[in-house]
Chains A and B, each alone.
Chain A
Amino acid sequence: MSNELRDKALKYLWMQNRDWSQMAEIGDPPVFVKGEGIRVTDTEGNTYIDVNAGYNSVNVGYGRSEIAEEIYKQMLEVNYFPEGSTTKPTIELAKKLSDLTPGDLSRVFPVSGGSEANETALKIARAYHVKNGDINRNKIISRRGSYHGTTAGVLWLGGGPPVASRDDFEPMYPNMLHAPQPNSYRCEFNSLNNSECAIKSANAIEDLIKFHGPNTIAAVIAEPIAIPQGAIVPGDEYWPMLREICDKYGVLLIADEVICGFGRTGKMFAIEHWGITPDIMTVAKGIISSYLPLAATIVSKKVADKFADENNYFKHTLTNSGHPVSAAAALKNIEILENENIIDNSAKMGKYLKEQLEVLKTDHQIIGDVRGIGLLVAFEIVSDRKTKSLFSSDLSIPDRLTEKFFKHGLIFRVSNEILNIGPPLSITRSEIDEIVHAIDLSLWELEGELGLPVND
């Protein structure tokens, strides 16, 4: 059966970021038939650890039958709804999200994925200013090295290495402005100090606002901790400064919690690390641990109030907005996160994982940096720690690592020198040991092949 399936996949399926001709050569794609906790089993009966929990998205882990049961019950009861009406779980989820999120974030527009959530956030931000009479406020500031989705409105946010090139999809969306990433390992201001890099990066956003004119800027969008450059935890100054700058110039602040939200960083939302409230927050992935598609745009009362009456309603319709089955699944998922103290576990296990990677760093010269918070952890491979240079791309380090990890039982796809680890938040200490051990072996092998000196 597995060959038949693989052949059909190669013939008919367009997989994300995979090339079917290359997959054919190496006997891919793997087809998985079972998932339990952090492990998945393929058609041949091989079991692997899914190091990145899907796309850092299966927060409670695979195989939670309570969620499947909830989905089943809801689908039998009401699987969808007529236009203009809604359902119980959708309302209950809106309430739950309002309760969980900080400050006056209290109005929930449900959608079905992170891209849609950020698209919806930008539309709300722009329309908000128009309703305020600020018709020219439509520029959006994002940061180089960020990622906010793949549909046309959000595709042009963030970007730059190591985010995949977008040159196929030109022209760029108008009115996109890009600021530095507060990444102190490779700071654009050559500052090695996390605070200093954060302050300079935040100031750069203010400069951009002043240069373009505040009355042309609709919003700043940012992930509390950005993934593409590897779990960039900004200095503590950064987010309070962003909040202050946005307030000063009447710019809305959008926090993209698509990856960070629902315990990934050891708190329910990553923005809680800095105690500020954004004007709009977007969530996806962990809100439902990928059991079904679901996401949401959560809006402050101040912003939402502009859309309250009939003449000002938000002209935006998505067929799957408010899906009752997804809502029921998300409610159960959040209940599990809360009841089983999984967020606490994320904080503790994240700390342990980072410590273990720090130990690896002392053994492996090619690890340039280890960083992150909670179970959003990353390390960077360099050819020289002092210069932080990368290995030549001819050496195909990412592909070789992916292969070695696989051999040692990890599904851990690497596409560049920055390795993000974002497992299910239910992971245990011994499971982390397993992952770290497999990484250790893989790095030894790679170093051996590269003829690098081995530390004693």
Chain B
Amino acid sequence: MNTNNLKNIAIEHLWMNSKSWLQSNKENGPRIIIDAKGIYVTDSEGNTFIDCNGGYSSVNLGYGRPEIAQVVKEQLNAISYFPQGSTTEPLIRLVEKLASMTPGNLNRIYPVTGGSEANETAIKIARGYHSRRGDKGKYKIISREGSYHGATGGVMWLGSPDKVSEFGVPYPGMVYVSQPNPLSNKYENESSYDNAVRCANEVERMILYHSPKTIAAVIAEPIVSQLPDQAVSPPNIIYWEMLRDICNKYGVLLIVDEVVCGFGRTGKWFGIDHFGITPDIMTVAKGVVSCYVPLGAVIVSEDIADAYVGSENLFRQALTFGGHPAAAAAALKNIEIIEKENLVNNAAEVGKYFLNRLNDLKSKHNMIGDIGGIGLMLGLSLINNDSVSKNINTNFSDKLKSKLIREGLLLRTNGKTIHFGPPICINKNQVDEIITKLDKVLFELEQE
């Protein structure tokens, strides 16, 4: 089938993530990727781009690793699935590996197929845990404003009550607290430390306000990657130390969402490794398998999992594709390559270099406001200087995007921010390539 045909079919029949087909139509059809290697992708017109956000900050290893395709094929040829109540070898190897990598006693792994399912499962485990201990009323979940934990019925209400109002009545028991963000200008001159303490105290205040008897868990990303209009900024370490203490004090479970942060993105294996605490439940997806196959997982501490021992305490949940052997084989190989090629260190080093280069850019371009990031989770916000902010609107964002595409950069813009979450195999020369192109585009925009 030729490309034009395919594009017309896509406009007619495909419902893409967060994209309308009339818009696709205006753009002469969606971009169709026909080749992908490392950080580069090539479309059906023969244009090659750098995928600055690595899928959805998810192709950690980079595109096109034949080793993964090879193990997936071998696994499928051995056994492609499994009967109910049984399991397969690659899954057992994977859960052993995850238990050894995650901190503390996070040792019991429930495999699922994506980040939303992982967080849904985490919440169910938290509620079921309390109900087994006779604390039936502990069902509310505390999340932070602007956080994102998924798109399905339970987790889509975490992080923000408003943005999803089309989807009916919210799930009961959602409690919201402030997002720690040292770059936020809500409180002028607030230090990063004060910001962290204030936000952690707010968690305690909300637990007391609602009564500890009603709160099941706090869910949070170690470092939030994509707040609208703000660059990435990790909270002060005191935030996580306090959160851990507060949760312990009130018998509230602490769920850490490592869907984006996990597997090297922030320059450590897990985002929470920067803060030295152990959550009760950790969720992973994306980087665990670098999107070669759908996979996610919920990693639970032994203390919590023990509440589910005994047939009367069974966790009643089944997902057909949970524990898929081909996904497990792919994830194992993915983790093995990340280890062998030292890509977590690479994320830390190249990330630092990337941040420095963005700072160089800032000194050249007035329209760059904040710059922030850790490892290869980076962002910059455009403008905090009033004379320019007037020009920043949707048109601007579209113009920016199309210029970047012309230069060969695919990246994510969100309001006034640009996000970077490239494959963590990226090298310094490739960062230079991105910076040079960005420089050119910003210069052009300033001229206009």
A52 in contact with B167 (CB, 8 Å):
no
A169 in contact with B33 (CB, 8 Å):
no
Q: Which residues of B, 56-98, contact A by the 8 Å Cβ criterion?
A: 56, 58-59, 63-66, 68-70, 72-73, 76-89, 91-93, 95-96, 98
CB nearest neighbor in A for B155:
A152
**How near does chain B come to A172, taking the closest CB pair, in angstroms?**
8
List B contacts of A8 (CB < 8 A).
92-93, 95-96
CB nearest neighbor in B for A75:
B69
B113 in contact with A112 (CB, 8 Å):
yes
B83 in contact with A48 (CB, 8 Å):
yes
Q: How many residues of B contact A (CB 8 A)?
A: 128
Q: Which residues of B, 394-443, contact A by the 8 Å Cβ criterion?
A: 410, 412
Partner of A126, one of B70, B87, B168, B322: B168
Q: Which residues of A, 260-299, contact B by the 8 Å Cβ criterion?
A: 284-285, 289-294, 297, 299
Judged by a CB distance under 8 angstroms, whether B115 is at the interface is yes
What sequence of 0s and 1s flags, for each residue 297-311 of chain A, a beta carbon within 8 Å of any chain B beta carbon? 101000010011110
B82 in contact with A40 (CB, 8 Å):
yes
List B contacts of A15 (CB < 8 A).
85, 87, 323
Q: Within the assembled complex, what's the spacing in Å between the Cα atoms of A427 and B20? A: 43
What sequence of 0s and 1s flags, for each residue 60-72 of chain A, a beta carbon within 8 Å of any chain B beta carbon? 0011110111011
**How near does chain A come to B84, taking the closest CB pair, in angstroms?**
5
CB nearest neighbor in B for A293:
B321
**How near does chain A come to B17, taking the closest CB pair, in angstroms?**
4
Partner of A119, one of B18, B153, B315: B153
B19 in contact with A170 (CB, 8 Å):
no
What sequence of 0s and 1s flags, for each residue 23-42 of chain B, a beta carbon within 8 Å of any chain A beta carbon? 10000001111111000010
B55 in contact with A319 (CB, 8 Å):
yes
Q: Within the assembled complex, what's the spacing in Å between the Cα atoms of A314 and B163? A: 12
B153 in contact with A13 (CB, 8 Å):
no
Judged by a CB distance under 8 angstroms, whether B320 is at the interface is yes
B166 in contact with A127 (CB, 8 Å):
yes
B316 in contact with A17 (CB, 8 Å):
yes
Which DSSP category, helix, strand, loop or mixed, fits chain A's interface?
Answer: mixed
Which of A76-84, A248-256, A345-353 is the contact stretch?
A: A76-84
List A contacts of B31 (CB < 8 A).
82, 84-86
**How near does chain B come to A407, taking the closest CB pair, in angstroms?**
15
List A contacts of B111 (CB < 8 A).
13-14
**How near does chain A come to B61, taking the closest CB pair, in angstroms?**
10
List B contacts of A309 (CB < 8 A).
20, 22-23
B89 in contact with A31 (CB, 8 Å):
yes
Q: Considering residues B13, B55, B78, B93, which has the most beta carbons from chain A within 10 angstroms of its beta carbon?
A: B13
A150 in contact with B318 (CB, 8 Å):
yes
CB nearest neighbor in B for A99:
B13
Which of A89-97, A236-244, A448-456 is the contact stretch?
A: A89-97
What sequence of 0s and 1s flags, for each residue 1-19 of chain A, a beta carbon within 8 Å of any chain B beta carbon? 0000100110111111111
Judged by a CB distance under 8 angstroms, whether A151 is at the interface is yes
A12 in contact with B166 (CB, 8 Å):
no
Q: Considering residues A34, A297, A316, which has the most beta carbons from chain B within 10 angstroms of its beta carbon?
A: A316
B17 in contact with A94 (CB, 8 Å):
no
**How near does chain B come to A400, taking the closest CB pair, in angstroms?**
15
A71 in contact with B151 (CB, 8 Å):
no
Partner of A86, one of B16, B298, B310: B16
Judged by a CB distance under 8 angstroms, whether B171 is at the interface is yes
Judged by a CB distance under 8 angstroms, whether B392 is at the interface is no
B55 in contact with A83 (CB, 8 Å):
yes
A34 in contact with B108 (CB, 8 Å):
no
A52 in contact with B15 (CB, 8 Å):
no
List B contacts of A57 (CB < 8 A).
81, 320
A83 in contact with B319 (CB, 8 Å):
no
Judged by a CB distance under 8 angstroms, whether B204 is at the interface is no
Q: Within the assembled complex, what's the spacing in Å between the Cα atoms of A317 and B66? A: 28
Q: Within the assembled complex, what's the spacing in Å between the Cα atoms of A109 and B156? A: 18
Selected A-B contacts with CB under 8 Å, 28 pairs: A13-B108, A31-B89, A32-B87, A34-B78, A48-B83, A52-B84, A54-B81, A62-B81, A68-B80, A78-B36, A79-B36, A79-B63, A80-B36, A83-B410, A84-B30, A85-B31, A88-B34, A94-B10, A94-B13, A114-B320, A151-B116, A151-B154, A152-B153, A174-B172, A317-B151, A323-B293, A323-B294, A411-B86
B contact set with A: CB distance below 8 Å: 1, 6, 9-10, 12-23, 30-36, 41, 43, 49, 51, 53, 55-56, 58-59, 63-66, 68-70, 72-73, 76-89, 91-93, 95-96, 98-99, 107-111, 113-117, 120, 123-124, 127-128, 131-132, 136, 139, 151-156, 163-169, 171-173, 285-286, 290-295, 298, 300, 305, 308-311, 313-324, 326-327, 410, 412
Give 15 A-B pairs besides A94-B15, A126-B168, A285-B320 with Cβ atoms closer than 8 angstroms: A13-B109, A16-B322, A19-B309, A68-B80, A80-B291, A82-B49, A98-B12, A130-B165, A151-B117, A151-B153, A152-B153, A291-B80, A317-B18, A319-B56, A321-B17
